[in-house]
């Protein structure tokens, strides 16, 4: 199984830090945010990772190279060299389809750090292969700053949990397993995943699950500082020691302040 890590945007709420360093390359707990994500995928057996880039794109390849240091092979989906070139989630996936192949693939944001075990997606991958569904989304309990949530989770007659638009709603965790056939014939360009994906939801073609473990979507400098302290005390489940030499990873130069929350909704379904 391949994975696509979405890393092209600037991260407006992380400014001014993200003006000089792409948000996924900022560090917390001694390593870059995107490296926490890559390591989690590698632990689950993912060996090929597609990363889309635009804002300060050259820094990604300089920092991560071919991915061998992290146990994966990285393929680059280059959308441009500045934030304005970023194609959003749907546009970025369509742009990268030739790299993703014909099998179901994981799509995940570069700026989340969590304890989610990607091996949990094996069953959903098999259901996609059998033609029963086209996508599977991971949802989390609504954080205080996003109490409304994004979508619901209902159990159908066979006992499978499916994404729905009915209340109560949970928050999209920015973790999905997707069939490449879902995007066949879709036009490229700058396009968001939502509300486009709701047509598949309404057709009953999207399953889901609730994850109640640690999940951080890092949106602001305060979030980054809070995560740094959390990871220093308690790294993600199964994480190896950092492979980033202290001098090679860009540091955040902000004063310590109270955390604004454990995560942020830069890439929630309401804004993806």
Residue of 144, 140, 113 lying closest to 218 (CA atoms): 113
Residue 44 has pLDDT above 90, yes or no: yes
Backbone angles phi, psi at 232, to 5 degrees: -65, -35
| β-pair partners for 24 | none
The answer to whether the beta carbons of residues 99 and 50 sit under 8 Å apart is yes
- Alpha carbons 185 and 175: distance in angstroms, whole number: 23
How far apart CA 124 and CA 177 sit, in angstroms, is 8
Share of the chain above pLDDT 70, in %: 86
Give Cβ neighbours of residue 140 (< 8 Å, ≥ 6 apart).
170, 171, 173, 210, 211, 212, 215
Beta bridge partners of 172: 139
Per the model's pLDDT, the better-predicted residue between 246 and 80 turns out to be: 80
In the predicted model, is pLDDT for residue 25 greater than 60? Answer: yes
Q: pTM for this one?
A: 0.88
Task: Please write the tens of the pLDDT for every residue from 133-158.
Answer: 999 999 999 988 889 999 999 987 56
Hey, which residues does 178 pair with through a beta bridge? Answer: 105, 135
């Amino acid at each position: 199984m391949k994975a696509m890590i979405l890393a092209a945007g600037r991260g407006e709420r992380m400014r001014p830090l993200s003006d000089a360093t792409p948000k996924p390359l900022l560090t917390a707990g001694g390593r870059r945010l995107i490296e926490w994500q890559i390591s989690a995928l590698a632990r689950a057996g993912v060996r090929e990772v597609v990363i889309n880039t635009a804002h300060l794109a050259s820094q990604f390849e300089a920092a991560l190279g071919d991915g061998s240091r992290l146990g994966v092979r990285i393929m680059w989906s280059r959308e441009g060299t500045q934030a304005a070139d970023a194609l959003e989630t749907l546009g970025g996936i369509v742009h990268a389809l030739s790299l993703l192949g014909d099998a179901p693939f994981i799509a995940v944001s570069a700026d989340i750090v969590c304890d989610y075990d990607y091996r949990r997606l094996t069953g959903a991958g098999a259901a996609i292969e059998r033609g029963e569904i086209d996508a599977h989304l991971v949802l989390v309990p609504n954080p205080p700053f996003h109490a409304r949530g994004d979508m619901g989770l209902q159990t159908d007659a066979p006992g499978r949990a499916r994404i729905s638009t009915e209340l109560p709603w949970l928050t999209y965790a920015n973790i999905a397993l997707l069939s490449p056939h879902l995007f066949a014939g879709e036009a490229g360009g700058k396009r968001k995943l939502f509300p486009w994906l709701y047509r598949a939801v309404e057709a009953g073609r999207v399953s889901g699950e609730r994850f109640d473990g640690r999940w951080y979507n890092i949106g602001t400098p305060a979030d980054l500082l809070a995560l740094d302290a959390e990871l220093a005390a308690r790294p993600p489940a199964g994480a190896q020691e950092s492979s980033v030499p202290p001098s090679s990873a860009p540091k955040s130069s902000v004063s310590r302040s109270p955390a604004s929350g454990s995560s942020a909704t830069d890439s929630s379904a309401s804004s993806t």
